[in-house]
Structure formats: C-alpha cells, structure tokens
Amino acid sequence: MSTDTPFRDITVAPPADGRAVPRRPDRTAPHRPASNEHSLLAAHGGLLLVEHLGTVAYRPTWELQDELAHQRRARRIGDRLLLLEHFPVYTIGRGGNEANMLAGPERLRAIGAELIRIDRGGDITFHGPGQIVAYPIVELRDPLDLRRYVRILEAAIIDSAAAFGVDAERLAGLPGIWVEGRRKLAAIGVRVKRGVTTHGLALNVNTDLRWFDEMIPCGIPNKGVTSLAREADTPVPMHAVEDELARQLARHLGLRTSDGAAGVIGPAGGREG
C-alpha cells in the first residue's frame, strides 16, 4: 500500500515549530487595493450588484441589510451595494455617547428627525436628504481584515470626491474623510457579523449642513462639516456621485458593477413590482 497521501497522520503530533494560521492580518502591512492576486472578499462571482433605493426610512433599511447579510452568508445572493438617501435621522453606534446629541426630544420632533441607537461601530452621525449613503453587503475572506476593508471605503470616497474637484484625505486617529484636515466630508461606520459586512459610509453631497448643528459629529469637537457642494461652490448631481461612488467601491474591492433590476427591493432581497 502506498504511503503517499496528502493527509497528515493525526496519531502523530505536529512538528514542534508548527504555527497556527493567524486569525488577523499584520496590522503594520501597507494598504493594498483588492485584486485577483490579493482578494479581500470570499466566494464572489466578480460582480457587485448595485441597488439604487431612492429616499427611504432608516429602520426598514437596517432590517433589509440584516436580511441581505443573512442571505449572503448562506450564498443565496452575491455581493450587493445599496445606494440611497435617508429621511432625517441621527444614529449612534455601539459605545457611542448620547451626550453628543445636543438636541433633546422636543427639538427632534420640531425639526422632524429621530434618534436611533444601532449596531455599527462609531459614535453619532446624521443621515438625511442630499447625502448619499452606501451600504456594501459583502463577504470578507478569513482572516477578516477589517482595517483593510475600512481603508478601501476611505479610498473610494477620496477618489469619488476627486472626480468632482474636491481634494479629500484621511486623518490619522480620526474616523471619516476630511477636507483640509478641518472639515468632515464623509462618515464611516461598519459592522461585520460572521464575515459579512453591513452599514458603511455617508457622503455629504448637497446636504443642508445645519443638521449637524444639533450634535457633535462622531463625537469630535472643534471640527467642522462640509459637503461636495460646499467645497465646489455649486450643487452637485446626486446621480452622478452615486454612479462614481459605486464605480470606485467596486474598483477598490476588485469587482465589476452590475445594476439591480427595476422595482422596490423586498424584505427577502427579491424585487416587487
């Protein structure tokens, strides 16, 4: 009987110098965009299905993300990107400080907004008209490189802003994307559960920046907030920014974009007429 076999004899202990595969990557490694040779994602078909949902309420969209993430883990759907605007809402992530919400309940009712504590990382942020929110529902490879995933979101925002003449950057130690190190252009807050991402980023395009006066954005005092329209000194077409952001996210994730079918996305991730 041949002794050639790809399997190790489990009755024999592994070599003393054997090392377990690390569950997290080297945090000191430089950032690299995803590619066929160095993928960030697992079990994907090379496509990012882009869903343009229009203006939607926050809670149903949160529930939709969870349902799509469940289907992604079961490999019933591929990688998705939800692009949308929200009705006015302030959200606070895990561990966020509610003291950063300056407006009380009566003020929130007066301005037509609500406050919701949610399950993403990060502190407090605002979502509302004129702001593009992107929720990638993608499966990350094991070991999970969350730091690299966030870097990819940052790079996609920076490249999207550059396409509209706005020079943006990341700041060490501060979340989000900034202009001139003083004005926040975009917020990032993500969650990864059993390898699949939810939540994502919010990019101020034509946002009424007075909404941010009601809070301390991301819990960072003494910093301003801005938008593409403010920096460009002219309104910016929302659909053009959506298309560019989808293209940049797909490029940095190593995917190609594909548009979803027409209709309203249903609770099971399918389409309703």
Active site residues: 218
State the burial class of residue 225 (Cβ atoms within 10 Å of its Cβ: 0-12, 13-18, 19+): buried
User: Amino acid identity of 218?
Assistant: C
For residues 207 and 128, give the distance between their C-alpha atoms in angstroms, rounded to a whole number. Answer: 7
Instruction: Please list the alpha-helical segments (H only) found in 164-266.
Output: 228-232, 238-253
DSSP bridge partners of 137: 80
Interatomic CA distance for residues 151 and 55, integer angstroms: 27
Distance, CA of 175 to CA of 33 (rounded, Å): 19
**How far, in Å, are 116, 176, 217, 239 from residue 127 at the CA level?**
11, 14, 11, 17
Residues 202 and 125 sit within 8 Å (Cβ to Cβ): yes
For residue 178, the cross-strand partners are 169, 184
Q: Using CA atoms, how far apart are residues 217 and 126, in angstroms rounded to an integer?
A: 8
Contact indicator for 140, 41 with CB cutoff of 8 Å: yes
Take residue 83 and report the two structure tokens written for it: 């692009």
Backbone angles phi, psi at 218, to 5 degrees: 55, 20
Please state, in angstroms and rounded to a whole number, the distance separating the CA atoms of residues 214 and 108: 9
> Strand 47-56 relative to strand 80-86: parallel, antiparallel, unpaired?
parallel
